[in-house]
Amino acid sequence: MPLTEMEFNRYIRQIHLKNIGVEGQQKLKKARVLCVGAGGLGSPLLVYLAAAGVGTIGIIDHDAVEISNLPRQILYQDRHVGEQKVCAAKTQLMKLNPACEIKTYNEKLDSTNAPALIDQFDIVADCTDNFAARYLINEHCVALGKPFVFASIHEFEGQCSIFLGDEGPCYQCLFPATSQNGMLPDCRTAGVLGVLPGLLGLIQAAEIIKWIVGQGTLLAGRVMMVDMLTMQFREFSLSHNPDCETCKRYRMMRPSKIERQQRDVKMNDYIISPSELSHALENNQDIQLVDVRTPEKHQAFNIGGTLIPLEELPNRFQELDPNKMVVTYCTSGGKSMTALQFLLSAGFKSVKSLDGGMTAWQKEKLK
């Protein structure tokens, strides 16, 4: 995505950095970041992502601005009290950088909207204040192979890490669902030092920018902790938990980078072109079509078959006949290839992925 002259002048100080340059700034312009929660952590994170030139920023939050938010949620002012946070945030960010596209979702993230929403973005910022939301984000990010940056705050202390989605430890490896950490009080009851979420939100923003431009050492496999009373920063290593239920449920769908590289050449044997699939269907070949997209995309346009969203596949693959050919399809071919790899690992012998997905299918039909 080329930079305009105005954008070049605006981001010139970042472009001068040898680890960013024009190419890195173009990556930021192309990037899509979802921020879950627009409060104390989300406020500084959103400001600096917009200022850095992230092209598309999504914000989901269902709360309104309260006067008690103002000491730490620096995105808002007195005049915003009573206004929905996503609306006030969009107004403020557009004033800061009109070139950014701000998508707002005035709702609570839950199991019904999380898959489709997270799937639209490259990386997720967890700026929530409760364990239930973090487990939900973690589950769908692991299922979809999306990274997310986590931060939490409590009184004078905070912590931050990044989970890569398709490899390494996940959030539930750090906090098993059976742990008692979910009983920690939030800032409404325990209180919080106003500058603490500011610091953690900036660290989250820095991790996201590093991930987008592909530079530096991420906090993956590491948890950074800070105590503002003593101004001490500590760090501990985090490894994959072999008993993690989320990893066991989804990771068989997400082979490691080395495994993916080893399989790339072999995967060509499992691809079917739109013309080949069309010919097979016209000749009434016994094929099980599986759409692994979201229900919304399936309803908008599909070529038949069974709708099994990718994140539901580990629990629903028994609905398919392993003795018949299965053809998976999605929007552009990436998710359907992931589904194919999962089905192969589950013992299916005849599986193919539609090359290029619905995008290629529609182009083929327009010829």
The residues annotated as belonging to the active site are: 187, 330
For residue 301, which phi and psi values (nearest 5 degrees)? Answer: -165, 130
CA atoms of 164 and 181, how far apart (whole Å): 22
Nearest to 156 by CA among 206, 203, 125, 199: 199
Strands 157-163, 148-154: pairing is antiparallel
Strands 351-354, 325-329: pairing is parallel
Query: Could you tell me the CA-to-CA distances from 103 to 34, 55, 81, 82, 121 in Å, in that order?
Result: 9, 11, 21, 20, 11
User: Can you give the chain as a three-state secondary structure string?
Assistant: CCCCHHHHHHCHHHHCCCCCHHHHHHHHHHCEEEEECCCCCHHHHHHHHHHHCCCEEEEECCCECCHHHCCCCCCCCHHHCCCEHHHHHHHHHHHHCCCCEEEEECCCCCCCCHHHHHHCCCEEEECCCCHHHHHHHHHHHHHHCCCEEEEEEEECEEEEEEECCCCCCCHHHHCCCCCHHHHCCCHHHHCECCHHHHHHHHHHHHHHHHHHHCCCCCCECEEEEEECCCCEEEEEECCCCCCCHHHHHHHHHCCCHHHHHHHHHHHHHHEECHHHHHHHHHCCCCEEEEECCCHHHHHHCCCCCEECCHHHHHHHHHHCCCCCEEEEECCCCHHHHHHHHHHHHCCCCCEEEECCHHHHHHHHHHC
Give the other-Cβ count within 10 Å of 303's Cβ.
Answer: 18
